[in-house]
């Protein structure tokens, strides 16, 4: 059996209505002074308001930072970190989608770094300054309000570097939270597009992990099951935003899709694409995913066959043919929600970058993400330029 490793596992509370237990959980950490990190919409959500009222009634002090309205930047995370340090919060509560949760995670680790930070990117996964010994000075609770990112379970945060114009992974093994509260009621009524973006992100995590080099019995035991759930319930939740069963299924699958110690390596390319062309994360991921499948056709033929079976496709002995079928089925799946391929996106936005210009921008950003080192066949070694060009070509030309 293949070996695997798994990062720190947080305590997990899953279920409709579970956000009501926040006060008890905060008291369980013996916390007296909290910082809530969120966005301007989720801070006004009825469930958040209820949670804040309950904190007040229990005399637990809290401040709110609700400005994480887009992917967190290095400056924003440094600011949050400074606040945590100066105000000596003993518990940080991240409420929202991937961005507020990532900002909360990053802020907590930054607060545990004593030295003056000039460039946060140097502390990123491909930087040299992060130490595994840096620790959060406070408890961290994460409450995801979308079903897709899985950010509540990962030990890294994705941060946009204003200085370098790229997205980078930041964090160490202490970045994972202490507790995730996953309340699917948060996602009830969510409009179609955010639901689609979350679902496509979850599908990308699942597929990238099961075809990836770090897939193992542990990941596979649950991820194929998660794929089945998202594949079935995403169209239902989009059609009926108040369908609690669909919301619960999506929340369960999205959470477990990233809780299984694999590596969503396609994300190295999606992060590059998203940051250069300002594409929403879930859509950037799905623009890249068919290419991931075609690239891994021979090395992950068995996993791709299994994915095809979940999609109700006829699979045969020809690995490349199977990969093409699965990739094409994915394209048809995302197009039913009005999501565009990268070529259609460029045409609609009037982006005139030639293939050469596209590749030139993508290569350094892809290599900056440590996940690009997990592609099979490898894309970061030897003649990496022509290898990454091939990957870029498939994404650029997909209709």
Give the binding site for Fe ion (CB under 5 A): 201
Q: Which is nearer to Fe ion, 81 or 97 (CB)?
A: 97
Q: Which is nearer to Fe ion, 81 or 199 (CB)?
A: 199
Please report how close the Cβ of residue 270 comes to Fe ion at its closest, in angstroms: 7
Structure-token match 């009926």, residue found: 240
Those residues whose C-beta lies under 8 Å from the C-beta of residue 333, and which sit 6 or more positions away, are: 231, 311
Tokens for 45, please give them. Answer: 């959500």
Those residues whose C-beta lies under 8 Å from the C-beta of residue 289, and which sit 6 or more positions away, are: 203, 204, 207, 208, 266, 327, 330
Tokens for 224, please give them. Answer: 């194929």
Q: CB–CB of 64/38 below 8 Å? A: yes
Q: Which is nearer to Fe ion, 201 or 368 (CB)?
A: 201
Please report how close the Cβ of residue 96 comes to Fe ion at its closest, in angstroms: 15
Please report how close the Cβ of residue 190 comes to Fe ion at its closest, in angstroms: 17
Please state, as a whole number, how many other Cβ atoms lie within 10 Å of the Cβ of residue 19.
24
Please report how close the Cβ of residue 151 comes to Fe ion at its closest, in angstroms: 8
Q: Which is nearer to Fe ion, 219 or 322 (CB)?
A: 219
Cα 77–Cα 40–Cα 259 angle in degrees, nearest 5: 60
Q: Which is nearer to Fe ion, 201 or 369 (CB)?
A: 201
Alpha helices in the chain (DSSP H): 22-28, 46-57, 74-87, 98-111, 192-211, 217-239, 244-257, 267-277, 281-295, 301-310, 319-335, 342-349, 355-368, 384-397
Please report how close the Cβ of residue 383 comes to Fe ion at its closest, in angstroms: 29
Please report how close the Cβ of residue 320 comes to Fe ion at its closest, in angstroms: 27
Residue 169 bridge partners (DSSP): 158
Please report how close the Cβ of residue 119 comes to Fe ion at its closest, in angstroms: 25
Tokens for 324, please give them. Answer: 């093409």
Q: Which is nearer to Fe ion, 109 or 202 (CB)?
A: 202
Q: Which is nearer to Fe ion, 71 or 201 (CB)?
A: 201
């Amino acid at each position: 059996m293949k070996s695997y490793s798994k990062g720190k596992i947080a305590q997990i509370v899953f279920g409709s209505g579970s956000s009501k237990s926040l006060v008890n959980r905060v008291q369980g950490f013996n916390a007296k002074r909290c910082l809530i990190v969120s966005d301007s919409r989720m801070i006004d959500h009825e469930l958040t308001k209820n949670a804040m009222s309950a904190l007040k009634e229990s005399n637990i002090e809290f401040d709110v930072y609700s400005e994480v309205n887009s992917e967190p930047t290095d400056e924003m995370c440094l600011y949050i970190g400074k606040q945590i340090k100066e105000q000596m919060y003993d518990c940080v509560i991240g409420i929202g989608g991937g961005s507020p949760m990532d900002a909360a995670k990053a802020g907590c680790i930054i607060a545990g770094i004593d030295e003056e930070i000039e460039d946060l990117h140097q502390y990123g996964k491909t930087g040299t300054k992060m130490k595994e010994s840096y620790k959060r000075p406070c408890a961290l609770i994460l409450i995801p309000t979308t079903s897709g990112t899985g950010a509540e379970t990962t030990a890294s945060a994705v941060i946009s570097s204003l200085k370098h114009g790229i997205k980078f992974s930041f964090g160490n093994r202490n970045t994972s939270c202490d507790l995730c509260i996953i309340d699917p009621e948060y996602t009830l009524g969510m409009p179609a597009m955010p639901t689609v973006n979350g679902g496509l992100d979850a599908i990308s995590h699942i597929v990238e992990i099961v075809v990836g080099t770090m897939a193992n019995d542990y990941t596979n035991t649950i991820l194929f099951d998660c794929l089945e759930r998202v594949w079935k319930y995403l169209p239902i939740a989009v059609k009926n935003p108040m369908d609690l069963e669909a919301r619960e299924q999506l929340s369960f699958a999205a959470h477990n899709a990233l809780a299984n110690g694999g590596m969503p390596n396609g994300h190295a390319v999606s992060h590059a694409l998203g940051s250069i062309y300002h594409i929403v994360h879930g859509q950037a991921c799905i623009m890249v995913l068919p290419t991931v499948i075609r690239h891994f056709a021979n090395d992950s033929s068995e996993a791709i066959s299994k994915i095809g079976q979940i999609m109700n496709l006829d699979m045969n002995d020809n690995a490349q043919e199977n990969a093409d079928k699965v990739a094409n089925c994915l394209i048809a799946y995302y197009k039913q929600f009005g999501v565009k391929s990268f070529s259609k996106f460029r045409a609609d936005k009037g982006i005139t970058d030639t293939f050469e210009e596209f590749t030139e921008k993508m290569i350094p950003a892809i290599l900056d993400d440590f996940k690009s080192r997990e592609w099979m066949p490898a894309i970061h070694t030897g003649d990496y330029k022509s290898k990454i060009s091939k990957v870029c070509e498939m994404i650029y030309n997909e209709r």
